[in-house]
């Protein structure tokens, strides 16, 4: 049956342009290329995806099903040719979206995905830890596509100020001794936005994020490992501000070849054990701005 309903092509109830129209919260498993891992457990990532394009004033509706078609294509293709990174999959989707939505000037893809990465506890035991990948891309017709890759890692911070206060209150003579403090889950996010040709390895981003906190955390800790994690946290106390600045320093030093227009986001969100609310710090900047600030300050890292 040839259904001729084409109300989407009609003129809208007013002539306003729309910034973003599309679908949100679409779920899809994707196969990614991880040469170092041979079992599928770590190669399938379950994605939650938002896909938008803009809409001119002259058209009433966007063709939302095309967004899902594009997603299905790239997910299907991943089964024969695993994607090299979710941000690259997002770029691929942007290109297809701008073809399918001939009226759109902008296309946007945002992806969140659970991600498992092998790690080692302080005493060297193998562990598999959970992270969240943030990926996405934004493309302008006849213009540039920018892509974002980022990670969210749950670590631990111990507070330097409470540690010093407690030492003072208990009249401790040896200030070098790691005094107790409050400590808690700290969610660190690092995102990097660049042109399509840059190549950021998500496993390296996770390592930078975990070096930013007082200590990474682990799903399984036998006694000595547990003690070591606690000691590491308290000999390495950090405010949320420290976490973000450490993350920025690590990013600037690690990505020496990234262009100055790369955009960096670092966030530290601390689920304070002494409060019912969170402590939070954030920096957004271009790589160029960070390099300039760094040149003016010899970091103490």
Ranges within 3-32 binding its own copies (CB under 8 A): 3-5, 7-8, 11-31
Applying CB under 8 A, the site for its own copies has a residue count of 124
For 300, the token pair is: 């103490």
Residue 249 makes contact with its own copies by CB under 8 A = yes
136: its two tokens:
């996405």
Burial label, 265 (beta-carbon count in 10 A; 0-12, 13-18, 19+): buried
Among 198, 226, 263, 288, contact with its own copies (rule: CB under 8 A): 226
Q: Is residue 84 close enough to count as binding its own copies by CB under 8 A?
A: no
297 in contact with its own copies (CB under 8 A)? yes
Q: Is 288 in the site for its own copies (CB under 8 A)?
A: no
Q: How far is the CB of 267 from its own copies (least distance, A)?
A: 9
Q: How many other β-carbons are positioned within 10 Å of the β-carbon of residue 282?
A: 12
In the range 103-142, which residues lie near its own copies by CB under 8 A?
114, 116, 128-130
Site residues for its own copies, window 188-217 (CB under 8 A)? 217
> Which residue among 100, 122, 195, 230 contacts its own copies (CB under 8 A)?
230
The smaller minimum CB distance to its own copies, of residues 141 and 236, is found at: 236
- 144-163 binders of its own copies (CB under 8 A): 154, 156, 158, 160-162
Binder of its own copies out of 122, 141, 254, 271 (CB under 8 A) = 271
Q: How far is CA 160 from CA 75, 175, 214, in A?
A: 46, 12, 10
- CB closer to its own copies out of 129 and 203: 129
Q: Find the binder of its own copies among 72, 99, 118, 204 (CB under 8 A).
A: 72
From the list 93-101, 138-146, 195-203, 225-233, the region that binds its own copies by CB under 8 A is 225-233
Q: 10 phi and psi, to 5 degrees?
A: -65, 170
For residue 218, state whether it binds its own copies (rule: CB under 8 A): yes
User: In terms of CB distance, is 143 or 275 closer to its own copies?
Assistant: 275
44 contacts its own copies (rule: CB under 8 A): yes
Q: Which is nearer to its own copies, 195 or 263 (CB)?
A: 263
Question: Does residue 43 bind its own copies (CB under 8 A)?
Answer: yes
Cβ neighbours of 293 (radius 10 Å): 14
Residues with Cβ within 8 Å of 24's Cβ and at least 6 positions away in sequence, in order, are 50, 51
HSE value, Cβ hemisphere, 13 Å, CA-based, for 150? 25
Task: Return d(Cα 183, Cα 221) in angstroms, integer.
Answer: 17
Q: Shortest Cβ distance from residue 11 to its own copies (Å)?
A: 7
End-to-end CA distance of the chain: 68
Q: Is 251 helix (H, G, I), strand (E, B) or coil?
A: helix
Cβ density class 133-168: b for 16+ within 10 Å, e for less: bbbbbbbeeeeebbbbbbbbbbbbbbbbebbeeebe
């Amino acid at each position: 049956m040839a259904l001729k309903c084409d109300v989407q092509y009609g003129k809208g109830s007013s002539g306003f342009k729309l910034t973003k129209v599309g679908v949100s919260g679409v779920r899809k498993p994707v196969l990614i290329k991880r040469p170092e891992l041979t079992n599928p457990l770590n190669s399938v990532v379950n994605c939650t995806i938002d896909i938008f394009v803009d809409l001119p004033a002259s058209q009433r509706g966007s063709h939302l099903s095309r967004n899902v078609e594009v997603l299905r294509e790239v997910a299907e293709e991943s089964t024969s040719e695993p994607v090299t990174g979710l941000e690259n999959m997002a770029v691929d989707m942007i290109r297809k979206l701008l073809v399918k939505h001939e009226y759109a000037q902008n296309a946007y893809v945002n992806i969140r995905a659970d991600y498992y990465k092998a790690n080692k506890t302080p005493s060297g035991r193998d562990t598999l830890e959970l992270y969240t990948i943030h990926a996405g891309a934004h493309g302008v017709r006849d213009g540039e596509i920018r892509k974002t890759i980022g990670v969210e890692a749950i670590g631990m911070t111990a507070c330097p100020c409470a540690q010093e206060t407690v030492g003072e209150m208990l009249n401790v003579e040896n200030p070098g001794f790691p005094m107790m403090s409050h400590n808690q889950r700290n969610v660190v996010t690092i995102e990097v936005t660049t042109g399509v040709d840059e190549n950021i390895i998500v496993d390296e981003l996770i390592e930078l994020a975990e070096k930013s906190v007082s200590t990474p955390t682990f799903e399984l800790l036998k006694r000595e490992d547990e003690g070591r994690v606690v000691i590491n946290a308290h000999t390495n106390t950090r405010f949320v501000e420290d976490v973000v600045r450490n993350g920025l320093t690590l990013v600037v030093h690690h990505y020496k070849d990234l262009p100055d227009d790369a955009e960096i986001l670092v966030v530290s969100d601390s689920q304070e054990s002494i409060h019912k609310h969170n402590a939070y710090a954030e920096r957004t900047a271009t790589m160029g701005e960070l390099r300039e600030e760094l040149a003016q300050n010899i970091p103490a890292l």
